[in-house]
Amino acid sequence: MGVTHFSVAFKNIFTITINILCIVAESISSRTFIIMNSLATSKSVRILSMTTEKLTKSKLWNSYGEYTNKINKRNISNNYWQKHKPLVIYIPFLGASKSAISKYVDLYQNYGCRVIVHQPKTIDIVWPATALKNSYEFLVNIEKNLQQEEQVLVHAMSFGCFFYSLILMNISAHPQQFQTFVDNMRGQIIESPVVGSLKEMAIGLASSIYKEQIVRRNMLQMSCMLYFALTKPFTVKYYNEAIHSFHTKPLKVASIMYTTENDPMAIPAEFDKLVENWKRARIDVSDKVWTESEHARILKTHPREYQEHIHKFLNRVLEINPKFTSKF
């Protein structure tokens, strides 16, 4: 049996396992839910189809996945500012709601930035070979459309950090192809990264699908661990390579790293190690462990302080005038 047949078989095993566990969970609870049987048959999702999802009934995305809600756009008279708006690439957490994404988009649009959102898919996590291809296609699309002086900032959250690590892998493998992107990078915000072992990854995946259904979440977590064991040659290898790239091959630009206290998806020692590795690489890193908050919910629990931190960072790394004055 060839590698292709093995990969299809393993994806089918994972899907069948999830379906069985979901059926058992359904017998415990009377609520109906959707069985995610599309995992076994999902094809590689191309960048344009992934980034043109509508956030509301009105069309808020252009063909490059750029958020174009005109209601929140500010009238800025400075011609240079208009022509050279910074580009923010926002990679949210897995399963992020439309309203949650909008809050971060508004945060950057109110500053005067253009925003492109790439929302991770479950298939990106359970079959990382597809994610690596998707991240390459995404990066090619960005590189092709970047202007020479266009400043770029990346904000990745939770499993979005995994997708960003795959972007870093592609940059490392094809440095000349993505030279404009690297040259234009001004800052990166790494928020609530899933750092640790496969256990933390399984917790994160299960929590993103079943946020409040504890029984189903625990069963899916066990299913994920079984899946990782069965597909080790095809999945764990990519996870390890992505983690290594994230630790050792970051872009050397000003950075923010945020995590939360008692985050079940992040081992504190591993987060500290990540920060230390970046600082050892002589990267300007500002790190913070937020208290009284949850995984990827810092903006929700500390809106005032969070926005002040982000705007202060933008004012420091973006060489554009007029600078933004926070209302807080």
The string of pLDDT tens digits covering residues 184-219 is 999 999 999 987 667 776 776 677 667 677 788 788
Model confidence at 4: pLDDT above 70: no
Predicted pLDDT of residue 231: 86
Q: What is the DSSP string of 122-146?
A: HHHHH-HHHHHHHHHHHHHHHHHH-
pTM: 0.73
What tens digit of pLDDT does each residue of 156-187 get? 999 899 999 999 999 999 999 999 999 999 99
Predicted pLDDT of residue 57: 33
User: Mean pLDDT lowest for which of 27-31, 257-261, 266-270, 305-309?
Assistant: 27-31
Predicted pLDDT of residue 159: 87
Q: Mean of the per-residue pLDDT values for the chain?
A: 76
Predicted pLDDT of residue 12: 54
Q: Are 219 and 21 in contact (CB under 8 A)?
A: yes
User: For the chain, what's the residue count?
Assistant: 328
Whole-angstrom distance, CA of residue 220 vs CA of residue 162: 20
Residue 39 is classified by DSSP as G
What tens digit of pLDDT does each residue of 144-160 get? 999 888 999 999 999 89
Query: Which one is predicted more confidently, 139 or 70?
Result: 139
